[in-house]
Structure 1
Amino acid sequence: MLKCVLTFAGLALFFAALNSCTKNEIAAELAVPEHVKNQVSALGFRADEVIEADGGYVVEGDIFLTKEDLNATIVDIQSLIVANTEQYRTTNLVTGLPRNITVFINTGSGGQKLPTSYGAALDEAINRYNAENLLVTFSRVYSASAGAIDILKGTGNYLASAGFPSGGNPYGTIRVNSSYLGNNPGTNYLATILAHEIGHCIGFRHTDYMDRSYSCGGSYYNEGQAGVGAIHIPGTPTGPDANSWMLSCIGAGQNRPFNNNDKTALNYLY
């Protein structure tokens, strides 16, 4: 299972990173064997910032690959190319459409409880998806046993985590580290983060995975198509659009509802 992990190394460094990029790997890059980088690249991920951690590897700042993932054979990989520079890489998708996906957020009790304000952010994230009249819809439920996706408090070395679909079903858990986001980070800002993680759960990669400098800064990087095909969506603009909800990095407090290119990609897949 591929799991997306937003990592950090210490509170001071974390808040400094928020000024330029919320989803940005903080830990120093460890020496990684060249054959591992080749495996990462073959899976369609950027291979120049691979960090060994937790028995696997963190790539692209927030995506966790187990060693089993590196040896997996991924078939039928496609890239949806929108606005020339925006690419919504797809591997596994949710099937059985039309389909409603239930989402539970724990703002009640227990060690995995999130602040009450996070519920309003989930409602906003769900509203953003449902406003698009997709073949996949979302509804909030109030019991963990009823949730196809559960949003829980995270306590590890990451800000938030999610994964990609498996067997036609969405990834089932999003963890959010409220100790670092705070009790009330802002409804629209948190809704953007939750909508981003839900996007991973239904199969979306980072929009700018082909050039993370687009949202994170630094030098230009393009890893190519990694041996897979691409679908260019006709009628979309040829220039960049820097406000996608699935961009790798986001500034602190920033709100990113779906832009026109996001809507094109969502409607193409669902």
Structure 2
Amino acid sequence: MRRLMKLGAFALVLGLLWSCQDSNEGQQPQLEEVPDEVLAQVANLGFNADEVKMYDGVLFIEGDIRITLDQLEKMSPSDGLPVEEHYHTDNLVTGTPRTINVYVQNMPQKYVDATDIAIDRYNDESLNLTFNRVSSSGQADITIRASPWYYYWFGILGSAGFPENGDPYGTILMTRGYYDNVSNINGLATTIAHEMGHCIGFRHTDYMDRSYSCGGSPDDEGDGGVGANHIPGTPTGPSANSWMLACGSPEGDRPFTADDKTALGYVY
């Protein structure tokens, strides 16, 4: 994420910045109506159901979480979905110690450079996960690539997902019409590190009150009964400057805080 700024508020900005993605699909696509029963499932799993978007059978939740309807059907509160990085549950990357290979597919050099910075941040923590950038898609556990054309229309700046079957989520999508204009390489690295955090099972630090980083009215994503196990030594409320805050400046650099490091070390 990343998220780095509240997504809905930036649809107009994205329109001004858009230049290079598949804009040849001429007509603006239409979001699909999300059935009430799907919204109920989303809420029951502990996600914010207030701003769910759906297109072509894919749900976009909390700004940058991509979950297909099929994946949603397979989830249940007993699965132990990730809550946020100062809490832990059971749906994480397994088989550790483990190396996770990251591939940057057909993106400008600054995305490669920012990915290297993000990888170094994780590896500097001496976790049971080691990240490694590879040059072949066939080696990749996580691929970073441009988002599809319709992300721009819906104001989606990027997306990732949560681990499945003990493996990291395999794709980080970046809306180049926005991120090509970010000048601070460390800010872009924070975005990529944020999405990598989702891929290995972390949710937004301020899930209990998104207004902490996004502004506006208090907005509790909730834990939905999925089990929020507090990590000793970390805050129980929103954590200032965490790399997993729901919103923030896209140019702003947010390396791991002391609380982030505690949480990462505890989980991995």
Shorter chain as normaliser: what TM range? Answer: 0.7 to 0.9
> Is contact 1:91-1:203 (8 Å) kept?
no
Q: 1:251 to 1:149 in 2, by over 3 A?
A: same
Q: How does 1:156-171 map to 2 (within 5 A)?
A: 156=149, 157=151, 158-171=156-169
Q: How does 1:1-270 map to 2 (within 5 A)?
A: 12-14=12-14, 32-74=34-76, 75-77=78-80, 87-88=86-87, 90=89, 92-106=91-105, 113-156=106-149, 157=151, 158-182=156-180, 185-237=183-235, 240-270=238-268
- State the alpha-carbon separation in 1 of the partners of residues 177 and 53 from structure 2: 24
Give the aligned partner of residue 23 of structure 1: none
Give the aligned partner of residue 20 of structure 1: none
Q: 1:42 to 1:118 in 2, by over 3 A?
A: same
Cα distance, 1:175 vs structure 2: 2.2
TM-score scaled by structure 1?
A: 0.79
Deviant stretches of 4+, over 4 Å: 6-11, 27-33, 78-81, 86-91, 237-240
For residue 71 of structure 1, give the secondary structure of its aligned residue in structure 2. Answer: helix
TM-score scaled by structure 2?
A: 0.79
Cα distance, 1:32 vs structure 2: 4.3
Instruction: For structure 2, list consecutive stretches of 5 or more residues without a partner in the other structure.
Output: 18-28
More strand by share: 1
Q: 1:268 to 1:76 in 2, by over 3 A?
A: farther
Cα distance, 1:263 vs structure 2: 0.9
Cα distance, 1:51 vs structure 2: 2.8
Give the aligned partner of residue 21 of structure 2: none
- State the alpha-carbon separation in 2 of the partners of residues 264 and 164 from structure 1: 21
What letter is aligned with 2:161? G
- State the alpha-carbon separation in 2 of the partners of residues 234 and 203 from structure 1: 18
Deviations 1:180-228 (A, max 9, x none): 2116632101100110111111111111222211111111123543123
Q: Percent identity?
A: 51
With a CA cutoff of 8 Å and minimum separation of 6, indicate the structure with the bigger relative contact order. 2
Q: 1:150 to 1:170 in 2, by over 3 A?
A: same
What letter is aligned with 2:60? V
- State the alpha-carbon separation in 2 of the partners of residues 55 and 150 from structure 1: 21
More helix by share: 2
For residue 228 of structure 2, give the secondary structure of its aligned residue in structure 1. Answer: strand
Q: 1:263 to 1:61 in 2, by over 3 A?
A: same
